Amino acid sequence: MTPAPLSVAAQDGRLLDGGAPPPDSPLAIRGLTVSYGEKPAVFSVDATFPARAMSAIIGPNGAGKSTLLKAALGVIPRVAGEVRVFGTPVERARDRIAYVPQRASVDWDFPTTVIDVVQMGLYRKLGLLGRMTGALTRRAQDCLARVGMADFAHRQIGQLSGGQQQRVFLARALAQEADLYLLDEPFAGVDAATERAIVEVLKTLRAQGKAVVAVHHDLSTVRGYFDHVFLINTRRIAEGPVATAFTAANLHATYGGRLAVAQIDALALAGTAAAGAAP
Ligand code: ADP
Ligand code: MG
């Protein structure tokens, strides 16, 4: 119960050895190892995501980003480690989390309508004996309107464009009225208008005090969209505010030869300038 480790953890996002995760962190992960076979997909990862912020998880293909998110959701077995959501073991905090899966992982041929997909987000709150009342259907409709999909409620999901599908899954997450939003590559394969619409919705969530954690593949928009960044390549490479953690050195360590040096330098340039300008 010493305050010092907590303040240090809050400052640079790292957890000190033996220090408890900050109790107010929307998502705090300690010593997480997940393995599908012999080789771990995520190895001994500590991560602390800040409240009232938008955080990006970045790293190369196969780095364990989706695995980290699924473990944060408590839906895949852990070899080791602990996941706390607002200070509570994730297994007891699931109803505070909304999740938007990687679009490629969803079966879009599944015969269901847009409004059904959004209402599915409500069943956990309803419980076994709950009924889909008029009020809940209206809530689902409101959430579709918030993502600009009000006119598509009765369309089959398989008949939507990639951007529209992503908006519907975001509406489903909104309907859950969660406190922590986990999104896996929400901007992958969507048009520019959808990307702007999703960013606005996420910023509104942040303004409402929610925490947003998104796996993000486009390094050129990290600075524009996010407050906090977590870099992973099976192991934790770095984490912290974008201004201090999104650096050339950390990108080199995360991507190695997979990003050209010139690319990395261009991406990190703004950060170097900002750090130089700081008092
Ligand atoms: P990322 O999202 O960063 O691209 P993933 O978390 O999807 O990475 O995958 C991390 C590693 O785990 C990869 O090597 C991937 O092939 C492997 N992996 C992911 N899901 C499974 C699975 N269901 N079964 C076996 N291996 C998997
Ligand atoms: Mg992935």
The CA 40 to ligand 1 mean position distance, Å, reads 9
List, in sequence order, every residue forming a beta bridge with 32; answer none if it has no partner.
45
* DSSP secondary structure string for all residues of 195-239: HHHHHHHHHHHHHTT-EEEEE---GGGHHHH-SEEEEEESEEEEE
Helix axes 162-175 and 192-207, enclosed angle (nearest 10): 10
DSSP string, 94-163: GGGEEEE--GGGS-TTS--BHHHHHHHTTHHHH-TT----HHHHHHHHHHHHHTT-GGGTTSBGGGS-HH
Question: Long-range contact list for 109-114, CB < 8 A, 24+ apart?
Answer: 109/158, 110/157, 110/158, 111/156, 111/158, 112/156, 112/157, 113/153, 113/154, 113/155, 113/156, 113/157, 114/144, 114/149, 114/152, 114/153, 114/154, 114/155, 114/156, 114/157, 114/160, 114/168
Nearest one of 155, 181, 219, 203 to 101, comparing CA atoms: 181
- So what's the pLDDT on residue 217? 93
Residue 108: per-residue pLDDT: 75
104 C-alpha to ligand 2 centroid (Å): 9
Q: How far apart are CA 152 and CA 112, in angstroms?
A: 12
Hey, where are the domains in the chain?
3-270
For ligand 2, a single-atom ion, the residues with CB < 5 A are 65-66
Closest ligand 1 atom number to CA of residue 59? 3
The residue type found at 54 is M
Q: Which atom of ligand 1 is nearest to the CA of 185?
A: 2
CA dist 230 and 54 (Å) reads 11
Helices (H) and strands (E) in the chain, counts: 11, 10
Res 264: pLDDT: 74
Residues 61, 74: Cα–Cα separation, whole Å: 22
The per-residue pLDDT for 123 is 74
Question: Ligand 1 test: best mutation among 42, 45, 66, most atoms within 8 Å of CB?
Answer: 66
DSSP state of 17: T
Report whether 94 contacts 88 (CB < 8 A): no
**Ligand 1 centroid distance, CA of 153 (Å):** 33
H or E element at residue 69? helix 65-73
Domain 3-270 is classified in which CATH homologous superfamily?
P-loop containing nucleotide triphosphate hydrolases (3.40.50.300)
**Ligand 1 site: residues with CB under 6 angstroms?**
36, 41, 59, 61-67
Residue 29: what residue type? I
- What is the pLDDT at residue 271? 52
In whole angstroms, what is the distance from residue 230 CA to residue 163 CA? 25
Q: Which atom of ligand 1 is nearest to the CA of 61?
A: 4
Distance 61 CA to ligand 2 centre (A): 7
Q: Which ligand is nearest to the CA of 71?
A: 1
Cα of 186 from ligand 2 centre, angstroms: 11
CB 105: neighbour CB atoms within 10 A? Answer: 10
Distances (CA, A) of 119 to 137, 159, 176, 225, 238: 7, 18, 9, 29, 38
**Whose alpha carbon is nearest atom 15 of ligand 1?**
62
- Looking at the CA of 34, name the nearest ligand: 1
Q: What is the pLDDT along the chain (279 residues), one digit of tens a residue?
A: 444 343 334 344 444 444 566 778 999 999 999 999 999 999 999 999 999 999 999 999 999 999 999 999 988 999 999 999 999 999 999 999 999 999 877 777 788 999 999 988 787 766 655 666 788 889 999 999 999 999 999 999 999 999 999 999 999 999 999 999 999 999 998 999 999 999 999 999 999 999 999 999 999 999 999 999 999 999 999 999 999 999 999 999 999 877 777 677 777 655 554 443 333
CA–centroid distance, residue 65 to ligand 1 (Å): 8
Instruction: Say if residues 58 and 216 touch (Cβ distance below 8 Å).
Output: yes
Closest C-alpha to ligand 1, atom 27: 36
CA distances to 79, 237, 258 from 43, in Å: 9, 11, 21
Tokens of 114: 């847009």
pLDDT at 20: 63
Q: Would you state the pLDDT for residue 134?
A: 80
**Ligand nearest to the Cα of 59, by number:** 1
> What pLDDT sits at residue 1?
40
**Res 106: pLDDT:** 77
